[in-house]
């Protein structure tokens, strides 16, 4: 198993508790790539070092057998080069890690196109101001040999050409999805949205008796999965499990996965699922809420806390007091599912009657 150390800089406006929660999440992201975190190093500074992110002397003192040095924030190409020279380790930032997780989990044609598109946009942004050959970095799409500005321009053109092609392919897929959505306009559509690893796929399985893979890893679901859910008598709805949200989700990924996230905007009801066992669940609720408000402000929402079987009564009662209108379930143990279905049926009835 590959090993990594995590390095971060604590500037005055970041408190120690928040920093720890963010680095805990970074460690989980690394774990999703089967990379073991062996140690964390935090340097207190007034501001980020423009050339090396952390201080040069701080970085030079590492004595470790790690393969990677991981950072929670975005590193510039020049910072990565300088850090590698100082430490001898491969620098990776949060965006690199999330992009690699998406790449590993992409199964369908659409997901693979979306990941490649995000990856190429990241590489293209790194070409700005670069004075050396990037053939090795973009070798996957056929760039070979050569050095200097002329080669950089060739690299850029090849990437831009490939990006244009991938965008056209995504447009075709989006067009087919829109046609499918129009054919379902008279069907009640529910989407499950939430922070990654909130248990969305498990809930989909429980409500629809599906058999979608549901593992305790971040970003296991990249493609939207839609199944039919029985409500009552001969009444049915469709239920979609969507890509999870996360703090600092890279812009290139958000843009590339626009068509996947757009499924939520077609919904008649959104189940905002929350992992009650998360030490950072309040920030996670806010992150998802903020994203949903951008496009889904007028769509009815149910706030649902999951994994109540994994918490204690004191914590459960505290969260219930904080969120009195929420529902509390265990998708895995099927606790509170009947109450959730009753609420779904209530919203279906309102939708059906046009209220």
Neighbouring residues of 209: CB distance < 8 A, sequence distance ≥ 6: none
Which residues, listed in sequence order, are joined to residue 240 by a DSSP beta bridge?
A: 191, 226
Which residues, listed in sequence order, are joined to residue 10 by a DSSP beta bridge?
A: 44
Q: What angle do CA 318, 321, 325 make, to 5 degrees?
A: 130
Report pLDDT for 141. 29
Report pLDDT for 303. 97
Please tell me the pTM assigned to this model: 0.80
Contact predicate 272/193, CB 8 Å: yes
Neighbouring residues of 8: CB distance < 8 A, sequence distance ≥ 6: 19, 22, 23, 40, 41, 42, 43, 54, 71, 72, 73
DSSP-assigned states of every residue in 45-56? -SS-BTTTBS-H
Instruction: Tell me how far apart the alpha carbons of residues 289 and 245 are, in angstroms, rounded to a whole number.
Output: 10
Report pLDDT for 328. 98
pLDDT in tens, the chain (355 residues): 999 999 999 999 989 999 999 999 999 999 989 999 999 999 999 999 999 999 999 999 888 899 999 999 999 999 999 999 999 999 999 989 988 888 887 778 888 888 898 889 888 877 765 554 444 443 332 334 444 567 778 888 999 999 999 999 988 887 887 777 666 678 899 999 999 889 998 999 999 987 765 555 555 555 678 889 999 988 999 998 887 888 887 777 776 666 667 778 889 999 999 999 999 999 999 999 988 888 788 999 999 999 999 999 999 999 999 999 999 999 999 999 999 999 999 999 999 887 5
* 206 sits in which H/E element: helix 200-208
Report pLDDT for 215. 55
Report pLDDT for 8. 96
Contact predicate 272/186, CB 8 Å: no
Neighbouring residues of 129: CB distance < 8 A, sequence distance ≥ 6: none
Which residues, listed in sequence order, are joined to residue 189 by a DSSP beta bridge?
A: 238
């Amino acid at each position: 198993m590959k090993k990594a150390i995590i390095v971060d800089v604590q500037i005055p406006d970041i408190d120690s508790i928040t920093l720890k929660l963010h680095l805990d999440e970074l460690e989980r992201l690394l774990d999703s790539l089967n990379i073991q975190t062996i140690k964390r190093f935090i340097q207190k500074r007034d501001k980020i070092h423009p050339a090396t992110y952390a201080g040069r002397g701080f970085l030079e003192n590492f004595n470790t057998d790690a393969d990677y040095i991981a950072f929670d924030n975005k590193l510039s190409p020049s910072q990565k080069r300088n850090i590698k020279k100082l430490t001898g380790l491969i620098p990776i930032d949060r965006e690199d890690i999330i992009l690699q997780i998406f790449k590993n989990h992409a199964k369908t044609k659409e997901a693979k196109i979306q990941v490649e598109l995000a990856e190429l946009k990241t590489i293209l942004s790194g070409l700005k101001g670069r004075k050396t050959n990037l053939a090795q970095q973009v070798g996957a799409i056929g760039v070979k040999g050569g050095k200097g500005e002329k080669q950089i321009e060739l690299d850029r053109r090849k990437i831009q050409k490939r990006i244009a092609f991938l965008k056209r392919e995504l447009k075709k897929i989006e067009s087919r999805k829109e046609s499918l959505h129009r054919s379902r306009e008279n069907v009640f559509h529910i989407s499950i949205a939430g922070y990654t690893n909130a248990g969305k796929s498990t809930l989909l399985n429980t409500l629809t008796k599906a058999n979608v893979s549901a593992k305790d890893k971040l970003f296991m679901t990249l493609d939207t999965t839609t199944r039919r859910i029985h409500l009552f008598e001969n009444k049915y709805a469709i239920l979609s499990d969507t890509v999870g949200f996360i703090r600092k989700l890279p812009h290139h990924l958000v843009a590339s996965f626009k068509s996947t996230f757009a499924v939520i905007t077609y919904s008649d009801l959104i189940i905002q699922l929350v992992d009650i066992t998360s030490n950072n669940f309040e920030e996670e609720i806010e992150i998802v809420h903020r994203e949903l408000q951008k496009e889904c402000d007028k769509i009815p929402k149910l706030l649902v806390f999951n994994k109540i079987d994994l918490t204690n009564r004191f914590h459960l009662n505290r969260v219930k007091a904080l969120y009195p209108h929420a529902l509390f379930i265990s998708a895995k143990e099927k606790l509170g599912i009947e109450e959730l279905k009753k609420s779904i049926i209530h919203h279906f009835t309102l939708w059906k009657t046009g209220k």
